[in-house]
Each structure stands twice: as structure tokens, then as C-alpha cells.
Chain A
Amino acid sequence: MLFDKLMFLIKTPKATLNITATALSIFLCASLWAGDADTNGSVTWLDIEARGANQDVYFHAWGGDPQINRYIQWVADQVKQQYQITLHHVKLTDTSEAVSRVLAEKSANNDHNGQVDMVWINGDNFAAMAKHQLLTPLWAAKLPNFGLTDPDNNPAMTRDFGLPTQGMEAPWGKASLTFYYDSLVNHAPPQTLQQLSQWAQLHPGRFTYPKPPDFLGMSFLKYALIVLNHSQPEAVNNLLYQPATLQSQALLLPVLWQYLDNLHPNLWRKGQHFMSNGMALRRLMGDGELSLAFTFSAADVPAAVARFDLPDSIRSYRMQDGSLSNIHFVAIPYNAAHTDSAKLVVNFLLSAQAQAKKQQPSIWGDTSVIALSQLPTAQQAWFKAPTESHPSAQIANQASSPALSEPDPSWTKVIATQWLQRYGVM
């Protein structure tokens, strides 16, 4: 009896597969048809506004920063006023949780009523979702406010870590790798990657980076990989922006491992333990265990000083040999229950009002994706930085540090896997 039941349970997924295939083909037809309707102009923004108002939107976004959480709360208040949309911030500890959820829904044939309406995403998570067709395509460019980013002159707005976004996500903000240090303890912070190695030798145990595959840890490794290969011929360098092959790995990676072999003995805990996430660096800075750290959200540093999480003597700067820069996006899963409402929210996120608010150091300090030239002069003034901010909000070398673009996403996996093999197991 019980055995029969078990067999039934085991058999069910086979049936599920057939249903998946059928549902998927129906969905594909339906979405193609919907796509046609859109391009024919039969669905206008006014239609979306009418259909999207008065609903709930579940925004899955990393929730580890109170400052960002407060900003999203502000957005929720605004869209409530404008569209009667109730925006719920689903706070993730890791964005891949949202990827898992959509995947689980797809495997359960939930193709129209998904729990994730919007997701804050970029890089690997985007590549993974795009690869498994988990995102709604061809909507971002149709947002009225998308034009404010001046996409014709800013190709970066439609590429995520080198991959074309194909309208699957809309840009939300910009970030660059920024270093910070305690100016009372550390008088001459290193200005280049090579200086960093020498500095670590002089100050053993006072620097570290998060363990791959953590986002910030990977960013440090990518920065190192790019800078260490600067002297290579341009053709070799360009391989970084193409999918990694065994040949390109053999050309580009050895300098990185050599550098790390040299650096690790001088790291915090002698490189035998790496913190699992980027925020931990800030905590170790506050504890005085580190005297140099780095972040992708520079505005976090003065905010942490204001909350007493970092000493008053903290200062920020960019490395002179370059800073890794990228754009982060918001996407709508293919099965979102409230697609139209989500589009309204994303369009609001791209408005001059929302972007200017987000750029204020006291609010979030995330660099706007709007091209100011697209705005009337009165609105451009909203983006001016206030003068009375903490000294750590002024970033030294900001203008002179060349922006380094993200390598092809395939490199992330290559670096992380080989790193774990080399340094992940003692």
C-alpha cells in the first residue's frame, strides 16, 4: 500500500515534465503573440498604467543595508501615492535566492502567477536567469523614462557584464570599486595593485577580501586580473571580454595566481580564512582588525560613520590604476504575477525624482544612470551633491581613476572555481 503511494510520488514528476513541455510551448506562443501586440503598438503605456494600478508588487532585493531598505520604503510610499501600488520589499540575503525561487516555480509549472514581480540583479545572476529564460524580454526600452539614460550614447545601459540585456532589465544605478582606510592608523594607503602587495608586506594581517564566489571578493579578483594584464597586447586583453576558453585562461590567469600566492601570506588570518561576504569587511574595519577595505557602495562608508560602525577618521579613494565599474539593474521574471505594475514601479525608479533622491549621500549615494543632458536645467540641479557631508563621502582620485569594465560573466565561474581549488581547501 505504502509502496504504491511511493511509486505514485516517484512517477508524478514524469507527468510533470510533459505538462511542463506543454505549458512552456503554450507560454512561448502566448508571449510571442503578446510581443507582436506590443510592437504593433496595440498596448500603450496608458494601457499599462490603467492595468497596473491598484495592485501589489513583490520586489525581491538584497536587504542587508538599512540605508537601501529605507530608500525602497520611500519608493513604496511614492508609487502608493501615484498608482495605488503596494510595493513589498522582499529582503534577500543573496540575490540567488530569487533566482532559485523563479526556477522552482518554473519546475512546478507556475508560469503565470509567480511570486517574484521584480528583482534587483546584475552580473552572474542575470546571466543565469537569461540562460534559463526566466526573465520577461523586450520591455525595458519601452519605459517612457528609459530614454533619460540616453541609451544611444551610453551602450552600457543595455549591457550587463558584457551581455546584451535584450530589454530584459532596466538600469537602476552605477557603482565603482572604492577603497577606504582609517587615516589615523594608515597614513599612506596603497594607490595601485602593486603598491597594495608591498603595503600588505609592511602591514601583515590588515587587509583581506571576501571569499569567492562572493560578489565583492570576485570584484577584487577581476580588478586584479584586469590590472595585472595591462601590459599584455591589446588582443590578449580583449579576450577578457569574450567567453573564457582554455587558451585564454592560460594567457591571462597565471599572473593573477602569482600575485595572490605572493599576497596571501600577508593577509588577515594569513589568508587561511576569508570572510564569506563583503559587508564583513566593514565590520572588521570597525573592530580595528583591518586597516584597509573596499566596497562597491561608496555611500555606505559615511553612513556607517554616522551610525558609529566606522571611526570618524575613515577616508575613501579610488585606485589610480583603475576601478572596476558596473551598472546594476531591475528585471521582471517571465512568470511575474503583476508585470504591468512592476513596469510602472521600474519606470518610477528611472524618473529624475527617484534617481536624484537615490544619489543623495545621506539617502543611498548610488550614482544615477540618467544622462543629465536629457533633463531640463531645473531638474539637473537636483543631482548636485550637498556640501555638508562627512569627509569620507569625498572620494579621492575619483576623476583620475580609469573605469574598468566587467569581464565576460564566464570568467567569474572560471576564477571562482580555480580560486577554490587553489586556496579554498587547506
Chain B
Amino acid sequence: MFSSDTAVWIVFPVILPLVAGLLCFLFKRGTFGIALAAAIGNFFVVSFLIYQMLVYGPMRCYIGGWHPPLGISLRSDGPALLMLLMTAATGLAITLYARGYFLFRISDPLRAQRHKRQQHYFWPLWMLLLTGLNGLFLSADIFNLYVTLELIAISAAPLAALSGKPASLRASYRYLLISLIGSLTYLLGVVFLYRSCGVLDLALLQNLAGNRLAITTALVLLTVGLMLKTALVPLHFWLPPAHANALAPVSVILSALVVKASFYLLFRFWFEIFAPIISLSSLNFMGTLGALAIFWGAIQAMRQQRLKLMVAYSTVSQLGYLFVAFPLSMFVDGGQAWSIVVFIALTHACAKSAMFMVAGNVYLHLGHDRIKSLKGVRSSQPITVFAYGIAGVSLMGLPPSGAFIAKWMLLSTSFASLQYWWAVVIAGGSLLAMIYVFRVMSNFFVIPEGESSKKNVSLSPLLEWPPLILALISLFLGLISPWVLKIVLYKDSGLFAQIFQGGLP
């Protein structure tokens, strides 16, 4: 099924950005070139890995030839590769957008120096973050995962602080603390697990996890740590200020990718490693928190006066759908449960990136992002507004977006399992999303009275096209769902059987 020769490709998504990050630290010039090369390379490697998986099946690579329980291993399967693809595609768009963003800011002579400095820090940190994300999706043991979580935390927090304004410094300081608390809670869980099972490898843990107190405690600790990082209501308080006060490209990274990473891990724990000891009531508890998140986030999003805060609260709301999938996933097979969350995550990653990019463009264009004063933006920035509209439609889960497919599966599961209240939550959430999306949209459409003497800055294609393309991807994701499903379903159990043939205790 796999051989070490072909499996070696799996390390490149980790190595490429890592090397690029180091190079960006070393060189003063050409950092964008290095980052772009890494982003493009990453995209191609991930595409190749998917192709490889479709041909050879899921893979594992033992670094240095050390097999578990001793060595470090990376593994690829359908969901992991799709998350990698999500990261690679949005990552490429983010890289291009960030370039346009910094060039635009640097062209302003008043603040050129400051923005040059920001850009100088941005590229290596972003590459490091990409390393952490890729590592997280590929890692196959819980300690390694801790390392990647830390890597993400220590690169994301400085990124959030880049803008240097007091508000963003405060927010990012809090973000750093929360991330560290989350990581430490997670680490504590890892310790409990290691004490009781003696292994760190996920596949081995899956077979050893039983209904013991130590393991239940470990699971609770892991879950709380990751919930904190995923910003599930009521642990979401840190997210809106951190996301809304960062520079536009950083907001995109944090909102589209970083929160997904910890969620991905949480879902793996709940539905693969610890699936046998999960009770229905705990799933319902998570689902209830998710429902609360959907409503609370949406209501807050409706009340915001600033576009970026609105988009940030919409993230809180949209993350709720991922958790509503918990109780419903009990009633479908593993492949379908994964496809639900993968569809939500992919759509949200693309749509939310587009939205934060749009918010950034509006800010660059008007010098503010007050929702009440967005008049006339439609006529001066048609592409940006169009991208906003399409991304909004995807967030609302209208067909044919990927979120629609996910909602369809959630709804049909809730009807098939006679849990009608989830249907109400899901349908109600879309309506609330409609309200906050179109509240902004209608302001874009207002034709300003009198002459529009606003400073008419034209934005470069680097700023306009990435959000549009991402928004279109999120909208048409539903149409390519057969392929997505096909990839998600690559999760054969034969993988684990083969490991045990290797003569482990």
C-alpha cells in the first residue's frame, strides 16, 4: 500500500515553508519571492500528494526510519490532505494579497518606513505559521501535535501584533496568553495519556483508549485546550479583538486557517481516537455550545459598527456549525461526518479569507471601515464588492456553495435521526447570517448624494483578484463535491493493520 520511497514526499509541506521562513529571516531583500516560491511549491506538492493518495492510498512516513512507538511519523489521509489543500490554496492567495497590501501601504510616503518594517517581519512569521499548520495536519502523534500547536501560537501572536497599535498589542498579548494556556492544557492531557497508555502515536492510542478515568480526564483536558484555541462560545472572547485589530492579511490567516487547525485536531480526537468512549450527552453538549455560538456570534455580528469586527464575529458564528456537526455525526458513518466538517471548513476558509481581504481593501480605499459610511464603494470598487457578495452568499450556505452541501447533510441527518431541533438551528443560523451580510451589502449599494469627493485610490489587481477568486471557489465548491467526497473517503483501516504487522507489542 505504501513504500518509503513514495511516502517521502509527505515531508515537503513541512520542510518547504520552514526553509523559506528561515531564508526570509536571513535575507533583507527578495523575501516576497522566497515566500511566493514556497507557497507555490507547497501548493504543487499538496496537489501531488493528493494524486499520490488517489493512486496508492493513504500513507505514512517514518522520519529517520524510526517506527512508532519510538519515532516521529507523518501520515496522510483524505481529510488531512484536504485541510492541507485548503491551507495551500488560501495560503497562495494570502501571499499574493499580502504583497499587494504591503506595496500599497509602503507607497504612502508618510508611513513607508513603518510598513517596510512590518513587511520585513511578516514574511518569515507567515512561513513559520504555514509550517506549523502543515505539520499539524500531517502529524501522527500527540506530542508532535503539541509542538506544531506551539509553533502556530508563537508565530500567530506576533503576527497579530504587527500593526503596532495599542489595541492590537493588547489583543495579541491576550491572544498569546490564551494560546499558551490552551497549549499547556493540551500538554497536560498528553501527559495523562502517556502515563496511562505509554504511547504517543495516534493509531496506537486509538486501540488502547478505554473508558478509564485517566483517559477521560486526558480527553477533557485536550478538549478544553483545543476549544479555547478554536474560540468556541463561551471561550471565544479573545477572537474578535485579535482578528479585527490585526493587519488585513494577518486577519485572513488567523480567521481562515488558524482556528481550523485546532478544530481539526479536536474532531480527530473525538471521532477517531476516542470515538469508543464518547457519550451521546457529551456530543449533545458540544452541539449545544455550537448552537449558542451560531446565534451569539451572529447577533454580535449584527450589532457591530466596524466591518472587520463584524467579519470577526461572523467567524465565531460560523465555527458553531462545526460543533453542531458533533451530535449529528453520531448518526452517520465516519466518512460522511468528515465530509460535513471538511465542507464547512473549506467553504469558510475561502469565504472568510475573501471577506477579510474585502474589509482590508475597503479600509485601504476609505481609510476607515465604519459600516454606516460605506456609501459609494460599489461604484468605485465593483470587484471588491462583488467578491464580498459572493463570499456572503457562501457564508449563508446558499446553493451551490460548499456550506450548502454541508447544511444539506446536517439537515438530512437531523431529520433521519428525528432530532428536529438541529434543523431549526441550522436554518435559523443561515437567516441570521443573511441579516449581517446584507446589512453591510446594502450600505455598499447606497449611491452617495452630491459629488463623491472621496480620495479615489485605485487598488492593484493583487488586492482585488485574490478575494474574488477565493469567493468564487467557495461558491462553486458544491459543484465539485463528488471529488471532495472521493478524497475524504480515503481513510482505510488497512493503514493501521499494516503497522501492527510490523511486530509491535
Whether both chains belong to one complex is answered with no
